[in-house]
Structure 1
Amino acid sequence: MRTVNLIVTLAALLGAVSPVVGKAKTPDPAECEVCIKVLETIDDTIPKDEKTSKTSIEEAIGKYCASSELGQKEKKMCYYMDPIKRNIAHPFSLKMPKDRVCKRLKKDNEDICNVKYAVKVAKDSSAKDVSKLRVKALKAILNDRGVDCNGCLEKADYVKQVMDTAHMDL
């Protein structure tokens, strides 16, 4: 009798836990986007015959990061990547996909995947499209445009302000 109760309890416990374990978190499409773009750009600068050489990969990272034509996000990524060139070069030389390299680097430094590009709004987008964005993204758009939204309390206020300043987007 005890074994039957134990089996029933165990089955109930597994039934309650399995739906929680079965759900996978949907990946964020913008996760590690700057890291992936930087690594792909560095990969394009390395000659084919030197793509497996760790020293040539480290030199390419240094050369890329020394460039004066980098944007703010790329400079920030170089700030994180410069001290760990060796850790980047090893999986890079094994031809590991760039997204996997970035996720591996994320284990050592969370900030690598937290650098993201600003959300862009198309000029022909309607208020309905803009209203689908989160308030955090709307605030970021207004901040990039250099606009303060004084008196904005609700999401509709931010959407209206974004639509009113659409001409300011570069």
Structure 2
Amino acid sequence: MRTFIIFIAIFVVAFAKEDKCEVCTKVLNDIIAKVPSGKNNNQDAISKTIREHCATTKGKENKLCNYIGALPESAASVMNDVSKPLSWSMPAEKVCEKLRTKDAQICDLKFDKDIDWKTIDLKKLKRKKYVF
């Protein structure tokens, strides 16, 4: 019985962690992929790549870029808190978790879920999950 409870607890934690900071993780992984080879440890090159990447983003990704200060119209900037750990080869998930302590909005961003209108039961639909 104890092993069953432990298994369920691990299962719940694994699925709960899946949705955390999904926009931040995706954007930072895209940025890491765009950094020129040989400049992975250069903080200035990473900052430049972040700004170039954020100039082309839209939607939730653009909102994240605004939160981290990579856009010209951003009110505050935590670019050093993003580029410095990336220059140390810290994984994007860890960088996002550290940014969460600075600004909780960064990890609150979620991608919109696609709705399959043919199989969905509108009577059982949660309003919070699917906003029209």
Same fold (TM over 0.5): yes
Which has more helix, going by share of residues?
1
Which ranges in structure 2 are unaligned for 5 or more consecutive residues? Answer: 1-8, 70-76
Map 1:73-88; keep pairs closer than 5 Å. 73-82=60-69, 83-88=77-82
Higher relative contact order (CA 8 A, sep 6+): 2
What is the correspondence of 1:48-67 to structure 2 with a 5 Å cutoff?
48-67=37-56
Deviation of 1:35 after TM superposition, in Å, equals 0.4
d(CA) in 2 for partners of 1:101, 1:134: 32
Aligned-pair distance for 1:31?
1.4
Q: State the Cα distance separating 1:116 from its structure 2 match.
A: 0.8
Query: Cα RMSD (Å) of the superposition?
Result: 2.2
Instruction: State the one-letter code of the partner of 2:60.
Output: K
1:98 maps to which of 83, 92, 106: 92
Bigger Cα Rg: 1
Between the aligned partners of 1:126 and 1:135, the Cα distance in structure 2 is 13
- Residue 41 (structure 1) shift: 1.0
Structure 1 residue 136 and structure 2 residue 125: aligned?
no
Q: Does 1:71 align with 2:58?
A: yes
Counterpart of 1:116 in structure 2 is 110
Structure 1, residues 105-134: CA drift from partner, whole Å, max 9, x if none?
000110100111112123553439x94x63
Instruction: Describe the superposition over 1:72-110 as per-residue Cα deviations: whole angstroms up to 9, x where unpaired.
Output: 111100101121111111111111111111000000110
Post-superposition CA distance 1:119-161 (Å, at most 9, x none): 2123553439x94x633113x1xx1xxxxxxxxxxxxxxxxxx
Structure 1 counterpart of 2:96, which letter? C
TM-score where L is the length of structure 1:
0.60
Alpha-carbon distance in 2 for matches of 1:96, 1:125: 41
How far apart, in 1, do the equivalents of 2:120 and 2:62 lie?
33
